Homo-oligomer: A and B are copies of this chain.
Amino acid sequence: MSNEFAHRMARKSIKLVDGSGNPVAGQEVQLNLTNHKFLFGASTFDAVEVANKSVDPDRLAFLEDKMEKFFDVFNSATLPFYWDRFEPKRGKPMTEELQNAAKWLKSRNVTLKGHPLVWHTLTAPWLLDMSNKEILKAQFDRIERDVTDFKGLIDMWDVINEVVIMPIFDKYDNGITRLSQELGRVGIIKEMFAKTREVNPNATLLLNDFNTSINYEILIDGCLNAGVPIDVIGIQSHQHQGYWGREKLEEILDRFSHFGLPIHFTENTLTSGHIMPPEIEDLNDYQIDDWPTTPEFEERQAKEVEEMYSILFKHPLVESITTWKFSDEGAWLGAPAGFLRKDNSPKPSYDVVKRLIKEDWHTNVTVRTDDKGMLTFEGFLGDYDLVCGDKSVSFTLEKESAQDQFTI
């Protein structure tokens, strides 16, 4: 336990009494962190197939194995709500399939985020037949339906994705770019946040972008001054063209900290393969047949993951890190972007991130109660099991922790 993580920890005093109210004095007590408050996540699109058992048994067993390796380390997950896939035919959304996935993940104690409610890429192609007024209504209806249908299962949403480029996106025509051109960047953000907030007032709402330049800073500044209820600043960090490194990472953290809002690293990629050439501007333009993971680059990935996760965990405003692809299988651009190889075997990066989360930043202490039944301990924030002999009690360690009394 080091001071650099003091903001992630708290000290707490607990009084233990027995069923008759007498102090449990001089007893050995174990305090074990069962779930971090900090969100360590990955996108878990496979959960849809696993929860719905919609693939053949061999494939299902393979995906279940992958998901178990996920559950061994992580406590948060991003589920896919890309409109063109979620509702390929208008009026026939994949609500049930996604609800099954969400329920299963929730039963495994995973905190969920839906991604995204509004985005120009992978949006519904049938918007193209509509007027802007109709597109706006369809988008509002979609938010109203999906945020309602998942309330209690998913209370965290990437409301709108990649707005910096949205109105000037020119790869292909789409309904959301059209709408953003009419409403303006701040205008479309404002509308979508207002609607999402209205439908789920207690949800955590993110603005998310891959643009980490001054553009995104000014956009956030404008939104906040315009009263847009942004809860969290989402920063994508797909580093196919090489690890940003400490200096750039700290510079970005510094610039986006000025708003005083929590920051989530929503989509992190560090590959265990060769680096994409720097001249590629849109990562989607890099199409190669094979992008292998190699032992040498797996070591590099592990080192980069350790440094980056450590820098982010140290920063007081960062509350979540999501690695975008948990496994190389099916990764975006075919990149070896996962913590697992295509065959589900763990890379060194998996071991590193598991060690960080489950050992280095973990709390599992044994203390002894005094003659008044009191114990004091310090640990990482999150959910705990307190075990004393064959009795146990669960509680949550918060930053400002009052003294508690537990009966065991």
A164 engages B214 (CB within 8 Å):
yes
CA distance A221 to B189 in the complex (A): 11
Given contacts A214-B215, A223-B225, 9 further A-B contacts (CB under 8 A): A164-B218, A184-B221, A184-B224, A184-B258, A185-B218, A185-B221, A186-B224, A218-B218, A222-B223
Q: Which residue of B lies closest to A189 (CB)?
A: B225
Cβ of A186 to closest chain B Cβ, rounded Å: 4
A and B contact pairs by CB, cutoff 8 A, 14 listed? A184-B221, A184-B225, A186-B218, A187-B221, A187-B225, A214-B215, A218-B218, A218-B219, A222-B222, A222-B223, A222-B226, A223-B225, A226-B226, A226-B227
A225 engages B258 (CB within 8 Å):
no
CA distance A218 to B227 in the complex (A): 16
Cβ of A406 to closest chain B Cβ, rounded Å: 46
Residue in A181, A184, A221, A227 whose Cβ sees the most chain B Cβ within 10 Å: A221
Tell me which residues across on chain B come within 8 A of A142, comparing CB atoms: none
Q: Does A367 contact B (CB under 8 A)?
A: no
Q: Which residue of B lies closest to A227 (CB)?
A: B226
Given the contacts A215-B215, A218-B215, A218-B219, A225 and B186 also touching, CB distance less than 8 Å: yes
Within 8 A of B (CB), among A209-239: 214-215, 218-219, 221-227
Q: Does A168 contact B (CB under 8 A)?
A: yes
Q: Which residue of B lies closest to A186 (CB)?
A: B225
Tell me which residues across on chain B come within 8 A of A184, comparing CB atoms: 221, 224-225, 258-259
Q: Does A106 contact B (CB under 8 A)?
A: no
CA distance A408 to B259 in the complex (A): 66
Tell me which residues across on chain B come within 8 A of A190, comparing CB atoms: 225
CA distance A185 to B216 in the complex (A): 13
In the A-B complex, the 5 residue pairs with the closest CB atoms? A222-B222, A225-B226, A186-B225, A226-B226, A218-B218
Cβ of A157 to closest chain B Cβ, rounded Å: 21
Tell me which residues across on chain B come within 8 A of A224, comparing CB atoms: 184, 186
Render A186-218 as a binary contact track against B, CB cut-off 8 A, 1 for contact.
110010000000000000000000000011001
Given the contacts A214-B215, A215-B215, A221 and B186 also touching, CB distance less than 8 Å: yes
CA distance A181 to B181 in the complex (A): 30
CA distance A190 to B227 in the complex (A): 13
Residue in A214, A219, A258, A259 whose Cβ sees the most chain B Cβ within 10 Å: A214
Cβ of A162 to closest chain B Cβ, rounded Å: 13
CA distance A215 to B168 in the complex (A): 13
CA distance A222 to B225 in the complex (A): 7
CA distance A184 to B218 in the complex (A): 9
Tell me which residues across on chain B come within 8 A of A219, comparing CB atoms: 218, 221-222
Cβ of A91 to closest chain B Cβ, rounded Å: 33
CA distance A218 to B186 in the complex (A): 8
CA distance A227 to B227 in the complex (A): 10
Render A153-197 as a binary contact track against B, CB cut-off 8 A, 1 for contact.
000000000001000100000000000010011110010000000
Tell me which residues across on chain B come within 8 A of A218, comparing CB atoms: 164, 185-186, 215, 218-219, 222
CA distance A88 to B136 in the complex (A): 54
CA distance A20 to B260 in the complex (A): 75
Q: Which residue of B lies closest to A226 (CB)?
A: B225
Residue in A164, A214, A222, A259 whose Cβ sees the most chain B Cβ within 10 Å: A222
